[in-house]
Amino acid sequence: MGFGKMASAPTEIRLALRPSRRFEAIDVNEKIAAEDGDVLQRYRKTLYCSLHTTAGYLDQSLSARMHHHHGRLAQFFDAFHSVFPPDAAYRHDQMELRSELTEEQKEVEPRNGDSHLTFIGSGMRNCVTYRNRPPAPVYFIDLDGTNGGTCRKRKTTIVAYDEETLVARDSFTVSVSQHPLDSVNLGDPRHGLIEQINGLLARAGLEKGRIDIALPATERDAGLTVNEYETMLMRHDLVEVLQDPLKFAAQRGRHMIDDPFAIPSKTINYAKYDVPRLLNSLMEALHWDQSVLERLMAKVMAVPARRLLRSRRVTFLASGEKDENAAHMVRGTYQSPILVQWRPAEGQARRLDIAVYALK
């Protein structure tokens, strides 16, 4: 099916969502169609942006492998819930260790270390771009939609557009430690990355845009993600997962076994039972054949999780209010681009490439 005449300017839509359960996949295209008709189908592409660290989107290619099917999506995440089960011994969830929180905040802070690690490990994104043909569901995936008995309020911004044009490029060098396993909060003002990006946006003078932050091919043994840079989460929980991807699953392995009483010994070898179950679930959701399963199983059992957590690019929306002179980098309250390394960098520095695209 072809497109008609291109629309004159991008359309920005902001949705407020309220999930009814902890894990929920909400078809935002369905909600937009109910409120605004076929507005998305007037454009070639759509940028979907989440403002949260435990709720976001999957790349279109990955969603397409599951035929944009809600049931397969749930099965896909069920596998990661097995690896990062709720109520495991995450440092992030041990409030007595969270010195940055007041006593009042500790009472209401979500214990959601599993949701943060699932977001990072499953390849979820804060911003994704979808082509609008053929029409298909696009799911806002919430991993932590309720806190106790309270439904959380979520926000997502959607920009429909026809074309994207590269308007600025730059590079940025960030200092890293000599520790082999480490993470850097690139959103920290002391690094200056966000200031540099907003400077590029101001000079470009665009109204709507996309910002890509990427590791060049020369940077090895590192990856990028967008999440909350909380010390216990990044310096302890994530590091432990990089060292041992099945650490938290092993602690709660009994929840992954359909009939635990059929296994006579409590000293069961976790790898013999639970990893095949995890991978079988992924195989069914993604329609892998047995050879793919065998290769993946060998990969998981042979190397740390760092080989699975290897996104090398993150994306942000650039947008501005009507009374602003230029667009700025849009981030949720707790969102930061984060660099993760699992081997030391030469010269204790790593380079990032920045690309800014105007959306038209």
d(CA 213, CA 168): 12
Q: Is the separation of the CB atoms in 323 and 236 below 8 Å?
A: no
d(CA 130, CA 51): 18
At 181 the pLDDT is 86
Q: Decide if pLDDT at 76 tops 80.
A: yes
> Can you tell me which residue has the tokens 């069961």?
268
DSSP 3-state assignment of 162? coil
347: which residues sit within 8 A by CB, 6+ positions away? none
User: How many Cβ atoms are within 10 Å of 327's Cβ, its own excluded?
Assistant: 24
At 267 the pLDDT is 31
Q: Decide if pLDDT at 265 tops 70.
A: no
User: pLDDT band at 73, cuts 50/70/90?
Assistant: very high
Give me the long-range contacts of 306-309 (CB less than 8 A, separation at least 24).
306/221, 306/223, 306/242, 306/340, 306/342, 308/121, 308/245, 309/120, 309/121, 309/223, 309/225, 309/241, 309/242, 309/340
User: pLDDT band at 250, cuts 50/70/90?
Assistant: confident
d(CA 126, CA 226): 7
At 158 the pLDDT is 98
Interval 331-357 mean pLDDT: 95
d(CA 196, CA 62): 32
d(CA 68, CA 263): 36
User: pLDDT band at 326, cuts 50/70/90?
Assistant: confident
Enter the pTM of the model: 0.85
Average of per-residue pLDDT values in the chain: 86
What are the structure tokens assigned to 91, written together?
């440092």
CA dihedral for 21, 54, 228, 201, sign (positive or negative): negative
Q: Is the separation of the CB atoms in 139 and 27 below 8 Å?
A: yes
> Can you tell me which residue has the tokens 């969102």?
335
As a CATH number, domain 1-162 is 2.60.120.460
How does pLDDT run across 3-48, given as a tens digit for each residue? 555 667 999 999 999 999 999 999 999 999 999 999 999 999 999 9
How does pLDDT run across 182-239, given as a tens digit for each residue? 899 999 999 999 999 999 999 999 989 999 999 999 999 999 999 999 999 999 999 8
95: which residues sit within 8 A by CB, 6+ positions away? 101, 106, 109, 111
Q: Decide if pLDDT at 90 tops 70.
A: yes
- H-helix segments, 190-317: 193-204, 231-232, 238-243, 247-251, 270-286, 290-302
Q: Is the separation of the CB atoms in 211 and 318 below 8 Å?
A: yes
Q: What ranges do the domains of the chain cover?
A: 1-162
At 318 the pLDDT is 97
User: pLDDT band at 52, cuts 50/70/90?
Assistant: very high
Interval 83-104 mean pLDDT: 94
Interval 307-324 mean pLDDT: 81
User: pLDDT band at 280, cuts 50/70/90?
Assistant: low
Q: Is the separation of the CB atoms in 173 and 354 below 8 Å?
A: no
Q: Decide if pLDDT at 284 tops 70.
A: no
How does pLDDT run across 173-192, given as a tens digit for each residue? 999 998 888 899 999 999 99
239-261 burial, b at 16+ Cβ within 10 Å, e below that, comes to bbbbeebbbbbeebbeebbeeee
At 247 the pLDDT is 82
Q: Decide if pLDDT at 279 tops 50.
A: yes
User: What is the separation of C-alpha 258 from the centre of its chain, rounded to a whole number of angstroms?
Assistant: 29
How does pLDDT run across 327-337, given as a tens digit for each residue? 999 999 999 99
At 79 the pLDDT is 84
Of 24 and 267, which is predicted with more confidence? 24
Element holding 37 (H helix, E strand): none
Lowest mean pLDDT across 78-82, 118-122, 158-162, 335-339: 78-82
Q: Decide if pLDDT at 297 tops 90.
A: no
How crowded is the C-beta side of 248, counted as CA atoms within 13 Å? Answer: 28
